[in-house]
Structure 1
């Protein structure tokens, strides 16, 4: 079994996943074959050789505890989440379970801990940026976090579709990639930009805007929350763009360990091919993000 779990931080609650989403991509995207399934990010005809890991003393995954449902402390006080299950499956696929550990640190400690040799891999939702690529290697992406529209039911009336947004005011957060993406993808929509996310969501709840455009995962949590009180729902359609949202979630390794990065890519491809990556995804996003 994967061992060595260390969790110095605590959180008080676990977000409830209650999402109702349908596939509809715009930009660089791959549609899932069935509603709710994880879009396939790998060419399943590809072959990635598994390097010899016999010389690997241990594989320590570094993560955090404050990014539910990806990594968090569950009600029993154990480290849990999508990333935790994915790390365990990678170790099983590589047949190195006895060498694997998962350690939790604060987000700010992730990069120094990896650089300092306190771990071999970071699996914590690190954004793949050009400056980081100068110092680290990254696995293939295993998940995109799409942008979504959430709309006020009363403000939208009977047409709860993206087409129904025409002529209505759409909210977003000023200065964000989602604002830029909205203006680029939907230049004809009337847009109102807000100082922060709480102000944007308050305007949506109060029908000052008919809909908002933001991070799909965060909107799925909010629309299902007591704060929203059933006022609003996600519209069909999920939007991804490497230009605006990056390459997706990846696992970060030190630059002097290309064989480990290749091994992780091999494991991710095999987990995708065998459907086990999709099983983990549906465990934490039962109705899907797309």
Structure 2
């Protein structure tokens, strides 16, 4: 009987000392400055730094994983990963499939083209515009510009879209404003075309972290961590690191 009591006692202690469950973040790491791989093949970017800060505040053990953007939501639904943080617009369509955290970044979209090639976006009629496959940008172009003769060309990553534009295979790229601004720093022969697009039907109210439907416990921890990093100044430091001019 004493052995049984001892066994249960030891098991109880071990259970109390169990390592916390690893929270697996998934992203699409070709989307600087939000997420990308550095020279050491390590995850970097605004989203990554923010997620690490949130994990620290929420006392979560977190890891990061890379996947194609159009597979992020399915991977959450099949419970392969716990959280997607990938500059993802919170839209009604996506909210029907996953649950989102509070907004952590206000978003807008822009056209990018070679300087002097077009006077305004309407001049892209009968031209090709690169978009990332599975994104709100792709939906926006297809729904609002296809009827005007604009052909959207899907890419697995914006790096490939920008590269094809430079090589003359497409005429323009439609992307997040911050992504375009980051790229334009190194490509002075290109510029924004027209005004920023902020259509809430496609770009929602900003970016959010996504979790599987019903995962309210994890969502609560993420929101608490986000609130804390905004309150203690960490969010602003991360923001300034990537977006301060």
Provide the TM-score with structure 1 as the length reference. Answer: 0.54
Residue 265 of structure 1 aligns to a residue whose secondary structure is: helix
Larger proportion of helix: 2
SS at match of 1:261: helix
CA contact (8 A) 2:107 2:205 kept: no
Contact 1:173–1:179, Cα closer than 8 Å, also in 2: no
Q: Is contact 1:59-1:119 (8 Å) kept?
A: no
> Structure 2: where are the runs of 5+ without partners?
1-17, 131-137, 154-160
Counterpart of 2:29 in structure 1 is 66
- Structure 1 position 56, deviation (Å): 10
**Contact preservation (8 Å) 1:180, 1:244:** no
Deviation at 1:284, TM superposition (A): 2.4
Q: Determine which structure has the larger strand proportion and give its number.
A: 2
Distance in 2 between the 1:198 and 1:89 partners?
31
Offset of residue 177 of structure 1 = 1.0
Q: Aligned residue for 2:226?
A: 268
| Residue 102 of structure 2 corresponds to residue 146 of structure 1 | no
CA distance, structure 2, for counterparts of residue 102 and residue 233 of structure 1: 36
Deviations 1:118-157 (A, max 9, x none): 443222234445454344321012123312355765579x
- After TM superposition, the score normalised by the length of structure 2 is 0.62
Structure 1 residues 118 and 125, CA gap change in structure 2 (3 angstroms): same
Partner of 2:67: 106
Q: How does 1:1-290 map to 2 (within 5 A)?
A: 57-64=20-27, 66-69=29-32, 70-94=34-58, 96=59, 99-107=60-68, 110-111=72-73, 113-148=75-110, 150=112, 169=123, 173=129, 176-178=139-141, 193-196=150-153, 201=165, 214-215=174-175, 216-225=177-186, 228=187, 230-234=188-192, 238-287=196-245
Q: Which deviations, in whole Å up to 9, do the C-alpha atoms of 1:12-68 show, x marking residues without a partner? A: xxxxxxxxxxxxxxxxxxxxxxxxxxxxxxxxxxxxxxxxxxx99435132235333
Residues 91 and 66 of structure 1: CA distance in aligned 2, closer, same or farther (over 3 Å): closer
Q: Is the 8 A contact 1:64 1:72 kept in 2?
A: no
Give the secondary-structure state (helix, strand or coil) at the position aligned to 1:85: helix
Give the SS at the match of 1:60. Answer: strand
Contact 1:62/1:110 (8 A) holds in 2: no
Q: Which has the higher contact order (CA 8 A, sep 6+)?
A: 1
Long gaps (5+) in structure 1? 1-54, 157-163, 184-190
In 1, are the aligned partners of 2:29 and 2:66 still within 8 Å (CA)?
Answer: no
CA contact (8 A) 1:72 1:80 kept: yes
**1:91–1:135: structure 2 CA closer, same or farther, 3 Å change rule?**
same
